[in-house]
Structure 1
Amino acid sequence: MLATFERIQLLDKSDELVAMILNSEIAENYRQCLSNMQSNMEAQNKIKAFINIKEQYEEVQRFGKYHPNYKPVKSKIREVKREMDLDPHVAEFKKAENDLQALLDEISKIIGHSVSKNIKVPTGNPYFDSLSNCGGGCGSGGSCGCSSK
């Protein structure tokens, strides 16, 4: 692959974009929330408890409702996940993570649609996917309302 002046400019601009994202308030908030969550022992204990019960849940899921511990493990994982999700540090981190993901999704959309409105950008976000004619969630069968060509 030959390095043309245009490609070098494009790479420089992408480096500038990366630097802007890394230096943004959203990215800084994400890093701060991650640090707060990782340094809080109570939050870490809740995360570890969830990981442990999740392993048990995956083992039980192999057999489904026929496993003898199916109901107790199923209710326990809900309880432990709720405790973890309600921890203030975990909740702040999840919000910061969603904010950063929304920024990255928006940037992806802008870049993709600046090339062509027909480019599908897999954001994983139904809101963004529904804004385009065909957000990638359909099977191109047209039942979603898109015009499959």
Structure 2
Amino acid sequence: MERAIYTKDDIIAKATEIADMISATEEVEFFKQAEAKIHENQKLREKMASLKSLQKQAVNFQHYGKESALKMVEEKIEKIETELDEMPIVQQFKQSQTDVNEILQMVATAISNKVTDNILEETGGDLLRGETGAQVQNSTPGSC
């Protein structure tokens, strides 16, 4: 039985279908809700604006070699980052990012592993040793 030959366009079409499936998962839905809550949260937006401003100051102080001012600003940045990280809404958002990234990594790994397995099987290779048929034939004792 001969396998079908696919084009890059065929593969992109399937990838788009998988992307649509991933976009319809509970994890992505939770991510979108968490992101919306973050944008609606005035206290969080104010802290983010302060953080951005302090980061710009830090770059300027570093550029001009103002070490003591830089140290003070870096301490303020660290304090705000800690406050943000302690907010449940931020924790939920970060967890949702992690969950979505895990799905994406899982899909990438599954595709990579399947492609490798197919190559090994189609070349008469050894799945357990991870060798293609060419490697297996060339590693057989007495073959010259």
In the superposition, relative to structure 1, how do residues 70 and 9 fare at CA in structure 2: closer, same or farther (>3 Å)? closer
Pairing of 1:1-149 with structure 2 (within 5 A): 6-7=6-7, 8-62=9-63, 67-116=67-116
Contact 1:53 1:73 in 2 (8 A): yes
| Deviation, structure 1 residue 24 | 0.5
Specify the SS of the correspondent of 1:116.
helix
Structure with larger Rg: 2
TM-score, length-scaled by structure 1: 0.66
2: CA distance, partners of 1:80 / 1:69: 17
In the superposition, relative to structure 1, how do residues 63 and 110 fare at CA in structure 2: closer, same or farther (>3 Å)? farther
TM-score, length-scaled by structure 2: 0.68
Aligned-CA RMSD value: 2.2
2: CA distance, partners of 1:11 / 1:73: 47
* CA deviation profile, 1:40-96 (whole Å, cap 9, x unmatched): 1111111111111111122233356x5340221121111111112222222211111
1: CA distance, partners of 2:40 / 2:72: 31
Specify the SS of the correspondent of 2:6.
helix
2: CA distance, partners of 1:51 / 1:90: 16
| Percent identical | 23
Structure 1 gap segments, 5+ residues each: 118-149
Contact 1:50 1:84 in 2 (8 A): no
Q: Which residue of 1 aligns with 2:137?
A: none
Specify the SS of the correspondent of 1:56.
helix
Q: What is the letter of the counterpart of residue 35 of structure 2? A: L
Q: Which is helix-richer, 1 or 2?
A: 2
How many residue pairs get aligned? The number is 113
2: CA distance, partners of 1:97 / 1:75: 27
Which structure would you say has the larger RCO, counting Cα contacts within 8 Å and 6 or more residues apart?
2
Q: What is the letter of the counterpart of residue 32 of structure 1? A: Q
2: CA distance, partners of 1:60 / 1:76: 14
Structure 2 gap segments, 5+ residues each: 118-144
In the superposition, relative to structure 1, how do residues 62 and 105 fare at CA in structure 2: closer, same or farther (>3 Å)? farther
